[in-house]
Amino acid sequence: MFPKGFWTKLIEAALSTPYLALLMGMSILLTVVSFYTTYDGLAGFLPHAVLAIFVSMAIQSLLFVTSWRLGFMLADKEPLAWLDVGVFAVCFVLSVFFSFSSLFNVVFSPEQQERARITRVHNGVTEAIGSVGGKARERRRGLVEDLIRSPEYHTWADNVAAVARLAADSRDILAKVFAESYERRRQKADQLARDAQDVAASKKTLARSLTDEKAALDRVQAGRGPLEEDLSKLRSNLAKAEDAIVAKQHEMDAEERGVGKTGKPNRGPVWRGLEKEQQRLIVDKDAIANRIALEGRRLDDLNAECAAIQSRIDKITEQQRGLPTRAAAAAKVVEEARREVASTGAGTAGLDLDQGVETLRAALPQFATSLDLSHFDDAAALCQRLLTDMAAIPLLEQKTKPLSCDRGPMLPLLNPINEAAASLAAVELDCLPGGDATKTVDKLPFADALTYGRTCVETANLPGSATRAERRELDRLDREESPQASPFTKTTNALLAGEKLSIFALLIALAIDLLVLFVGLIGARAVEATVEPPVAPVSPTDSPEVKLYKWVLAASHAANLRLEGTRYDHRVVLSGIADEGDRELVRQFLVGSTSKGAVRQVENKEGEFLLRYGVADKLREWVQKASVPPPPPSPARRPPPPRVESAPRPAPPPRSTEPPRTRAEHAPQTIDDLDLDFVPVGRLDRASDDQPARPEAAATESAQELASAAVASPHRPAPSDAGTSDSLDPINGLFR
């Protein structure tokens, strides 16, 4: 894949060609840049920076070498070596990825990464919740469809249709019955409305009663204060009287024992006086006790009255507190009663029985079409009402016995539908947009958003297989979008999410390594396309051979082709020669050389030829030698040339008296017809640089052919033994 002497040729070409040197410098600089970004990205995945340096150097070295190797393969039109392609692909992928990981943190700031990360979490949670809501709707829809396809539903629907037909056939009887029922409902609604008005009007009554009770409580409380003070004084006086009675008893005992005032142990006048005082004190004590009992009963009465008043106050307060609820409940009952009256009207389910029957008949098709359970419930309620009213009529009692609007046989199918409807209602209330308790996911932090998403998944109450994808997505968000996620996960998530800055970082990494490849391809082609030196213009003093060479070189352009295993490095375009006669001479010269293998005519292009590798260089070498002036003759006698034993030199032809030949007659017809020192002694149909040299026998045969041609041509000297030996060299033996 590298030509022979590649490095020498590359260095020489770079030193002589500025743009090639610039390409090599650019390739080295791009490799250094890619090395730094690869190392910076790889350092986050390896434990030691030294390892990252070694690996990065290996990656970039292989990337640089394989880029140039692939370039030379393409430049030489050689088959690609798949080992080189594989090594380049592996190194390219590694370099791009780690460079992208490094540039990602530069282009994508940490603040922007955090905002993008939390946005991806919010979007993922929102999508999971929306998907769960859609699956909950589909589940309920599927259960309803199963109900409609069930035989129990068809049996029930037949009963509903039979009730509708019976109602239509009994229109006159039902009209009278429903008119009476309507009147009863209207009266009931009016009574409920009056009760609601009384409840609303009781607000003022309760407020007035509460004011009166509080005033009465204040009056009782005012009477209790003085009474409690009097009782306190009486109890104090009672205690003093009891103490005085006890003291008199002690004096009487002392006088009786002889230790009193008289000192005599008897019950004399002193003792009797003490006894009278004691009796008086006892009477006073009893009076105080009676008064205390009387005042105590009065106080108890006041306390009981206070308690009763307080109880009434509490009751009124409780009534006031529950009054809004009672008023709202009464208003709701009134509204329902009025709605029922309005729905029944003077007939059955509208203003007449026919409308009610049509409503019942249309409810089931609407349910089958929309799968809305409200139509199903309306049909069941209307059917039950018609059947109940008709069963209450003696004339229709026997006809209604076989009929039934009961949905009991469908309960095994209705229960899952009700559960699914309840779960869907909970999801719509708590999770889906428009729900009263729905949270705004975009305002929740990371952990709360994931918790909210999992709660909504659980609220849907779907089978585990139905929510497996949503659970996995939430788990992935928790695992890969957390702040503790690895750098690889963060970069790949941002790239897969289509973040523009991450794509921009990837494009930069791709551009750097692709430029390394492109520079290698362009540089290799530049090395292969050798810079051609300018051809000297044709001079009148040039010999015909030199003129012919210059015309060929002036019309040639560098090329790089390999046809049938032979390499060609120049293309001759005859249109580049201005003079028609010169152009014809060059064409005859090239056509005559095609049989020798040195020239190949381009297919389908009569005026273009390809020169075999090395022919143009030899032509240029011949022209350069012809332009060097010969050394001046020496005054000394030149020694005779050595005698060649292989073949005698023919005698020079006699001077011709014919007129001089024209340019076309004098010019050589093929490369082998060139005269003097520029006449080739070997064959031009030599092998290319990658083919082996011809064997010696073939070379000798070629020399003999040239010798025979020299005898036939008066202008061509015979080849010498040296020429024969030179022909063994595949390159230097071409020309002499």
pLDDT(158) > 80: yes
User: For position 686, what pLDDT does the model report?
Assistant: 33
User: For position 587, what pLDDT does the model report?
Assistant: 87
More confident residue, 504 or 169: 504
What is the percent of the chain with per-residue pLDDT over 90, rounded to a whole number? Answer: 10
User: For position 729, what pLDDT does the model report?
Assistant: 35
Q: What does the pLDDT average to over 13-39? A: 81
Q: What does the pLDDT average to over 435-439? A: 86
Q: What does the pLDDT average to over 167-182? A: 76
User: For position 704, what pLDDT does the model report?
Assistant: 38
User: For position 660, what pLDDT does the model report?
Assistant: 44
In the predicted model, what is the mean pLDDT of the chain? 77
Name the pLDDT band for 36 (thresholds 50, 70, 90): very high
Name the pLDDT band for 221 (thresholds 50, 70, 90): confident
Beta bridge partners of 571: 557, 610
Name the pLDDT band for 734 (thresholds 50, 70, 90): very low
Q: What does the pLDDT average to over 713-720? A: 36
Say which range, 77-81, 462-466, 540-544, has the weakest mean pLDDT: 77-81
pLDDT in tens, 466-499: 999 999 999 999 888 888 887 788 888 888 888 8
Select, from the ranges 120-124, 379-383, 432-436, 691-695, the one with the highest average predicted confidence (pLDDT).
Answer: 120-124
Q: Which residues are within 8 A (CB) of 246 and not within 5 positions of it... i.e. 6 or more apart?
A: none
- Tell me the CATH class for 171-344: mainly alpha
User: For position 59, what pLDDT does the model report?
Assistant: 92
**Local structure of residue 344 (DSSP, 8 states):** H
Where residue 445 falls (left for φ over 0; alpha for ψ -120 to 50; beta otherwise) is beta
pLDDT(351) > 60: no
Say which range, 121-125, 150-154, 229-233, has the weakest mean pLDDT: 229-233
Phi first, then psi: give them for residue 477, nearest 5 degrees: -60, -40
Q: What does the pLDDT average to over 190-197? A: 82
User: For position 138, what pLDDT does the model report?
Assistant: 92
User: For position 491, what pLDDT does the model report?
Assistant: 84
Name the pLDDT band for 220 (thresholds 50, 70, 90): confident
Q: What does the pLDDT average to over 72-97? A: 84
Say which range, 2-11, 311-320, 505-514, has the weakest mean pLDDT: 2-11
3-state SS string over 392-425? Answer: CCHHHHHHHCCCCCCCHHHHHHHHHHHHHHHHHH
pLDDT in tens, 657-691: 444 444 434 444 455 444 333 333 333 333 333 43
What is the C-alpha to C-alpha distance for residues 37 and 49, in angstroms, rounded to an integer? Answer: 13
User: For position 253, what pLDDT does the model report?
Assistant: 83
User: For position 566, what pLDDT does the model report?
Assistant: 84
Residue carrying structure tokens 């070997």: 682
pLDDT(244) > 60: yes
More confident residue, 7 or 678: 7
The burial class, CB within 10 Å (0-12 / 13-18 / 19+), for 260 is: buried
Name the pLDDT band for 135 (thresholds 50, 70, 90): very high
Around 284, how many Cα atoms within 13 Å sit in the side-chain half-sphere?
A: 17
β-bridge pairing 566-573 and 556-563: antiparallel
- The model carries a pTM of 0.48
pLDDT(414) > 80: yes
Q: What does the pLDDT average to over 425-435? A: 88
Name the pLDDT band for 696 (thresholds 50, 70, 90): very low
Spatial strand order of the sheet with 566-573 comes to 556-563, 566-573, 608-612, 599-601
More confident residue, 162 or 718: 162
Locate 194 and state its tokens.
């009056």
pLDDT(732) > 70: no
Say which range, 12-21, 371-380, 426-435, has the weakest mean pLDDT: 12-21
Q: What does the pLDDT average to over 247-269? A: 79
More confident residue, 306 or 223: 306
pLDDT in tens, 332-343: 888 887 877 776
Cα→Cα distances 501→92, 241, 408, 483, 486, Å: 21, 105, 62, 19, 19
User: For position 53, what pLDDT does the model report?
Assistant: 92
Locate 517 and state its tokens.
């490849």
Q: Where are the domains of the chain?
A: 6-108+499-528, 115-169+353-480, 171-344, 544-628+659-726
pLDDT(526) > 90: no
Name the pLDDT band for 629 (thresholds 50, 70, 90): low
Around 374, how many Cα atoms within 13 Å sit in the side-chain half-sphere?
A: 1
What is the C-alpha to C-alpha distance for residues 32 and 397, in angstroms, rounded to an integer? Answer: 101
User: For position 728, what pLDDT does the model report?
Assistant: 29
What is the C-alpha to C-alpha distance for residues 284 and 287, in angstroms, rounded to an integer? Answer: 5
